[in-house]
Structure 1
Amino acid sequence: MHAHPNEQLQLLELAQLDADHQRLQHVAKNMPEQQHLVQIEEDRRVKRAAAAAALGALEDAQAELHRIQNDAKLVTERRAIDEQRLSTATSTKDIAALDTELQALARRFSELEDRELGQLDEVERLTGEHDVARDAMTEIEALAADLLERRELARNHLRDEAKQLHERRQSVVASIPVELVTLYEQRRAAGGVGAAELVGTVSSATNEVLDPAELTRIRALAPDELAFCPVSGAILVRTARSSLPG
């Protein structure tokens, strides 16, 4: 196949645009922010679970404290009623019964006071544990939020760059004959590189030196006759940087 040397040079520009697009795809798949998010995800899960467990334990302890305090309030109210009744009682039997009940209520109130003090200590301890767990979760979630924000900014930048590359590619493709673009795409699909420059005696498609016989064969081609990389199959474009025996 034949193509004007200038059209062949345009293939190099097209190949560079495609290489840049591949680079963007690689960057998008290997963004450091995303990799960092993946690395901390297990730690996030553990810290969220720890904070939830600490909160649950604290709420249970607070509920138990509330029950103890309610029981103590009921005992206090009952004692006040019995003391009032005792102050007006005249029957020996009633007085004895009220006195017995007041003694029982006093023991119950003392027991509840002891339980309340112990439960207050437990609530204080669990509050500290919850604060630590919550702060640890807040810290890692703040890191995750920062990484998510930076990842989105990076993605937006990549999308903008990809859009620019697409527009430039469309412009370059429009200036190259359809048959040449078709051949380029076929070679790119087969070997990964559609066109490459012959730099010195090295094919930039493979970074390998061409053997002397191949270089002699390429030199014998007309300037508008296409050469191909013997290893990758890419269209091999000769430029001022090429070295051919002669």
Structure 2
Amino acid sequence: MTKLSVNINKIATLRNSRGGDVPNVVQFAKDAQRFGAEGITIHPRPDERHIRYQDARDLKPEVYTEYNIEGNPVESFLKLVMEVKPTQVTLVPDAEDAITSNAGWDTIKHKDFLVDVVKEFKNNGIRTSIFVDPVLAQIEGAKLTGADRIELYTEAFAHQYGLGNKAAIQSYVESAQLASELGLGLNAGHDLSLENIKFFKDEIPGLLEVSIGHALITESLYLGVENVIQMYLNKLK
């Protein structure tokens, strides 16, 4: 069964919009796990506009499933991950002013940098994953960095699926097959939703984990958090 990791950035965004501590990020993570989530994902950015670095620290003792911290490995992020020591770190090449993640790594151009970062995390017992587009050369490059897993950037699939173009899955299938041949674990995330998750999961061999935030939180406004988490779990069976 593919694991569901709930990205809670949007809960922090809502909290920050009014100041104070409502909704409480830590409590939401605890509830999401109680409702069946098999992981919690956060993506702190240097400006802390949603998840704050202190949130990452506060969550550490409360996340008893998988704890995944995503982000661009700038110096402050590296220090945070080394302090918190989550289950997994997912390296994402965000520009500081990006609204959300919008591209995978060029693992060929940035190979030497990624090798150093991955080695440091793995030496400290942290599983590493690299965010990549479904491009075979980039997956081969990810393997050369020493990473444990890749996370396929699924925005293009989700957009095309919404237009009725199911053939857009093909590059992801080929990427998954190559990852398996190379011994890389496979995660996926970005714009996956209740509408498209079952098709994606059924078509992608060896999918270990999906990280879902924006869609899951917005769907929960209408259907309830516990119910939505259970709906995802059913679709991922």
TM-score interval (norm. to shorter): under 0.3
The structure whose Rg is larger is: 1
Higher relative contact order (CA 8 A, sep 6+): 1
Using the size of structure 1 for normalisation, the TM-score is 0.23
Looking at secondary structure, tell me which structure has more helix per residue: 1
Using the size of structure 2 for normalisation, the TM-score is 0.24
